[in-house]
Amino acid sequence: MRVLKWLASVGAIVFSAVSWANEPGVTDTTITIGMSAPFSGPNGAYGLEMRQTIQSYFAQVNKMGGINGRKLDLVALDDGYETEKTVANTKALVKDKNAFALLAYYGSSPTTEAMNNVFGPAGVPLIGTISGASTLREPISANPNSRYMFNVRASYADETDAIVNQLISLGLKSIAVFYQNDGFGKSGLEGVTTALKKHNLAPSAVGTVERNSTEVGKAIEAIAKANPQAVIMVTLYKPTAAFVKGMKKAGQNPMLMTLSPVGTEQLVQELGPEARGIGISQVVPYPWNDATLVVRDYQKLSVKSGNYSYYGMEGYLMARTLVEGLKRSGKDLSRDKLVTSLESMNGVDFGGYRIGYSANSRVGSRFVELTVVGPGGKILK
């Protein structure tokens, strides 16, 4: 009888070991996590901020024993904010690098393409992307690939709604839109249009700029003709800066608002004193005020450099979400277990920032607050 019990026990252990041993990216000592983001080119600063914070947090977790005895290993690839490169990187991470899960992607079109053609069909979870696009927030019943996309930030619809409501409350009704001609910009334009429609309004003018371009002359010409009271800019920091300078040269001084992906710190650095007065919606807590626990925890990771940023804060929250899901999955890891564990995180509070998923929803958060660039480039709430 004792022999039978012993054999059953050994069999269970062997089965468990084989179970996780067959799971890509999982060994008895490590868990491989993949990341694709821009680390070079005009938008390289965004990815570098996130990667540095994530690496610091992983080092902290590993120093404390890792996840159930396994250390986190980040494999990060540069995609230059290009859709084709992002898709290629994702294939490499899943097939060649054997990433167990993915983390902290960047951009609407690149991530949507990767979700629908690579990591979704492969059943590999992605936690967090710098995108508020509706294409990444479709119910699983509408798009089965959405099962593997866990958003951490609020949507562009949430951001544009907050911006439009603020402008309307100030009595402004002539509102133009300057947007990037890709999934990010079009999703933002849709959000602004929908928010304005609630007030029986429509954009007074629109202008576009191509991805990774600063050719904004035509957009300035089109928008300046309407002489708008305000312009909502759904663009990244370089074209945003070029547009702001061009509008001022054209004698236009509308209220200027932009969305969180712009890169607050990068925009201030690019524009200098000309950034003053620009309003920016944010989707994570203010990283320079240690009034909340989650911000204090984030700041501890950057205490040596003292460089706090919104992108660093968001990268930290993505990594926290992943780690919480891994902890809940137990020792016998599998991708399906991670998905189920993340789905169980309904209203988890990291200390001032709440994350919530369900079996059919991957929204994550609706946190939005408005900030403005003050004197000396200081960001004011």
pLDDT tens string 323-352: 999 999 999 999 999 999 999 999 899 999
Q: Are 99 and 121 in contact (CB under 8 A)?
A: no
pLDDT at 301 over 80: yes
Query: Comparing C-alpha atoms, which of 88, 91, 71 is closest to residue 79?
Result: 88
Give φ, ψ of 142 to 5 degrees. -95, -30
Are residues 180 and 131 in contact, defined by beta-carbon separation less than 8 angstroms? Answer: no
Residue pLDDT, tens place only, 70-112: 999 999 999 999 999 999 999 999 999 999 999 999 999 999 9
- Check whether 7 has a pLDDT greater than 50: no
Looking from the CA of 203 toward its CB, the CA atoms found within 13 Å total 20
Name the DSSP class of 276. T
Domain 156-282 has CATH 3.40.50.2300: yes
Q: Is 80 exceeded by the pLDDT of residue 8?
A: no
Domain with CATH 3.40.50.2300 in the chain: 2-153+291-356, 156-282
CA-CA distance, 325 to 338, in Å (whole number)? 6
pLDDT digits (tens, 9 = 90+) for 191-230: 999 999 999 999 999 999 998 899 999 999 999 999 999 9
pTM: 0.90
- Collapsed DSSP state (helix, strand, coil) of residue 282: strand
Mean pLDDT of the chain: 93
**Residue-by-residue DSSP string for 93-142:** IIIIS--SEEEEEE-HHHHHHHIIIIIHHHT--EEEEE---GGGS--TTT
Quote the CA–CA distance of 10 and 2 in Å, as a whole number.
12
In the prediction, which pLDDT does 147 show?
A: 97
CB 39 within 8 A of CB 51: yes
Instruction: Tokens for 34, please give them.
Output: 């993949």
With 0-12 / 13-18 / 19 or more C-beta atoms within 10 angstroms meaning exposed / middle / buried, residue 96 is exposed
Residue 229 corresponds to which tokens in the numbers above?
């009271």
The CATH classification of domain 2-153+291-356, taken from the options 3.30.70.260, 1.10.760.10, 3.40.50.2300, 3.40.50.300: 3.40.50.2300
Nearby residues of 2 by Cβ (< 8 Å), 6 or more positions away: none
Angstrom distances, CA of residue 187 to CA of 109, 124, 157, 160: 10, 25, 8, 10
pLDDT value, residue 305: 62
